[in-house]
Structure 1
Amino acid sequence: MSEIINALDRALDVMILLYHEKREMGVTEISKELGVYKSTIHRTLYTLENKGFVNQNKENGKYWLGTKLYAIGMVVGEKFSIKELVKPYTKELNKEFNEVVNVSILEEKSDDCPRSIVIHKESGSNQLQSVNPTVGSSCECYCSAVGKCLMAYNDINYNRFKNIEITKYTETTIDNWDEMNKVLEKIRENGYAIDNEELEHGLTCIGAPILDKNNKAIAAISLSGPTARMKSGDFDYKIKRVIETAKKISDLLH
């Protein structure tokens, strides 16, 4: 088992503190927040500044994150997309329940009814119903768990969709926007959505939003399977695990 390098651990704590505070901080303040001697913080900041990871404002003596972190972040951002970010978590959820896990984003369209598009999929060995969206496919948001999450946690004016006819795929499909607004409010209260055979008979999905630091859904994750399996005795536990998984991914974006 490897041992923590204290000096490195302390330097990372300093950068994480500055990141979370989102403002310049002085040596005394950083020392107090981290519970570390001022002399130690001073040496840590000097080392970080020497490598470009923090910069000192010469006018007030306070420190802020440096351009080296920005450069690294740009490279990571290009390489580490949301699809790469979610993979370990979708694999874990798929392995636990052996059901399909999808990650979807809001499709960028201004005139049509809001739609979600699948950007990542993890499949189990259990066979699903015929409607099993592939990566790149899209679906109206109102009839899917991920879609409803994306609508609930994004600034969308739904009044402009009221004249658009809603296709009622099954008897449980929500077919008017007034009812949908009530459902979206409940989703925001509970932190998850259910597709109760609203797109296909016999298919149930649980969805939860993946939120950025502004509490906006940049994506949503779902666990899907035949209703008989999904609504077995552990349905509430499945909901809990989907919410937990979405939160873990969201925490990485904050």
Structure 2
Amino acid sequence: MENNTKKTAVLETGDRILRMLECFTIEKPEWGVTELSKHLGLYKSVVHRMLVTLEHRGFITQNPQSQKYMLGIKLFELGVVVGNQMNLRTVAKPVMEELCENTKETVMLMIVDGLEGICVEKVESTQSVRYTSPLGKRVPLHAGATTKILLAYLPEDKIDKIISKGLPKFTDYTVSDPDELRQQLQTIRKQGYCISSNDFSLGGMGIAVPIMDHSGEVVAGLSISGLEFRMNDIADSLLRQCQAAADSISRRLGAR
């Protein structure tokens, strides 16, 4: 019962902070403690504590002239991250559509979020039997070409953390041995692409390559995903097309 009470208190605090941040708008970018207290229906002492916490973390700053509070640089930094993701999707979508049209297979764009992969854009094959993955779906990074290409380029400490949480098997072909996975990742980095089949779903095959930004960092993985019996014999051709598409997207993001 005590634990439930604590969890409720944490949720209430988080909700209050989010409600407070939502008060800052283009129409009213600055707020004083008293007016925030009245607007939110909270004690001034509570509002002040939240503002001090947010200010300490860079989410809020105080205008030295008006003494009122406004949004801080941290929110701008987070906005840039969101903007980059949106820009990535905008840039990638037409290239993905062309790749899907040429290969007749599903094309996916995936990024790393925490310790998982998440599909942020896709263009589905029009074939009656095809591979598909819902937008926003979270998937493990150790199985499947689209996610393994991302895992391969993560910092070693993050790879260690993912491996330490276990490598569940999805099929008999899923790599669950840490040493074997590390060897695979080394090979992927060396060759610059990943081709895998049956390790996430039986009968499935994926061909994936990294997408880089202006700084040379891997920001996403681009893949052609479909059925092994259709893709296996033309894998080399599909790989070349996937690489050309990824290079096109990377250049549009400023990569050299």
Q: Give your verdict on TM over 0.5.
A: yes
After superposition, the Cα gap between the structure-2 partners of 1:78 and 1:120, relative to the gap in structure 1 and judged at 3 Å, is: closer
- The Cα shift of 1:163 comes to 3.3
Instruction: Using structure 2 for the length normalisation, give the TM-score.
Output: 0.63
Q: Matches of 1:104 and 1:168 in 2, distance apart? A: 21
Q: Select which of 73, 80, 91 maps to 1:85.
A: 91
Q: CA deviation at 1:159?
A: 2.5
CA contact (8 A) 1:153 1:215 kept: no
Aligned 8 A contact 1:207 1:242 in 2: yes
How many residues are matched?
172
Displacement of 1:128: 4.0
- For the 8 Å contact 1:209–1:220, the answer to whether it is kept is yes
AA aligned opposite 1:154: L
Query: Per the alignment, do residues 224 and 161 of structure 1 end up closer, same or farther by CA in structure 2, a change over 3 Å counting?
Result: closer
Distance 1:95 1:162, change over 3 A: closer
- Cα offset for 1:127? 3.3
How far did residue 214 of structure 1 move?
3.4
SS of the residue 1:213 aligns to? coil
Local SS of the residue matching 2:215: coil
Question: Which string of whole-angstrom CA distances, capped at 9 and with x for unpartnered residues, describes residues 124-179 of structure 1?
Answer: 211346x7311110110110212111111232412333432221111211102221
Query: Residues of 1 paired with 2:162 and 2:109: CA distance?
Result: 24
**CA–CA distance in structure 2, aligned partners of residues 121 and 192 of structure 1:** 19
Q: 1:200 to 1:79 in 2, by over 3 A?
A: closer
Taking a change above 3 Å as real, the CA distance of residues 141 and 185 of structure 1, as seen in their structure-2 partners, is same
State the 1:215 CA deviation: 2.8
**Aligned partners of 1:116 and 1:138 also within 8 Å:** yes
Where does residue 171 of structure 1 map in the other structure? 172
Report the equivalent of 1:140.
140
Change beyond 3 A, Cα 1:170–1:253: same
Q: Percent identity?
A: 25
Going from structure 1 to structure 2, the CA distance change for 1:80 and 1:175 (only over 3 Å counts) comes to closer
Larger helix share, 1 or 2: 2
Quote the residue 1:69 is aligned against. none
Say whether 1:100 aligns with 2:106. yes
The answer to whether the 8 Å contact 1:206/1:223 transfers is yes
Q: 1:105 to 1:80 in 2, by over 3 A?
A: closer
Instruction: Please say if residues 195 and 205 of structure 2, whose CA atoms lie closer than 8 Å, have aligned partners that are also in contact.
Output: yes
Quick one: distance in 1 between partners of 2:166 and 2:223? 26
Report the counterpart of residue 242 of structure 1 in structure 2: 242
Taking the aligned partners of 1:98 and 1:244, their CA distance within structure 2 comes to 16
Contact in 1 for aligned 2:92/2:249 (Cα 8 Å)? yes
TM-score normalised over the length of structure 1:
0.63
Per the alignment, residue 219 of structure 1 pairs with 220
Match of 1:120 in 2: 121
Cα contact 2:148–2:185 (8 A) shared by 1: yes
Q: Write the distance in 1 (CA, Å) between the matches of 2:138 and 2:241.
A: 25
2:151 and 2:84 map into 1 onto residues whose CA distance is: 27
Which SS does the other structure have where 1:240 is aligned? Answer: helix
* Displacement of 1:98: 1.0
Q: In 2 relative to 1, CA 79–101 (structure 1 residues): closer, same or farther, beyond 3 Å?
A: closer
SS in 2 for 1:91: helix
Give unpaired runs (5+ residues) of structure 2.
Answer: 1-79
Change (3 A) 1:79 1:191: closer
Matches of 1:98 and 1:253, distance apart in 2: 26
Query: Aligned partners of 1:103, 1:127: CA distance in 2, in Å?
Result: 21
- C-alpha distance 80-135 of structure 1, shift in aligned 2 (>3 A): closer
Residue 188 of structure 1 deviates from its aligned partner by 1.1
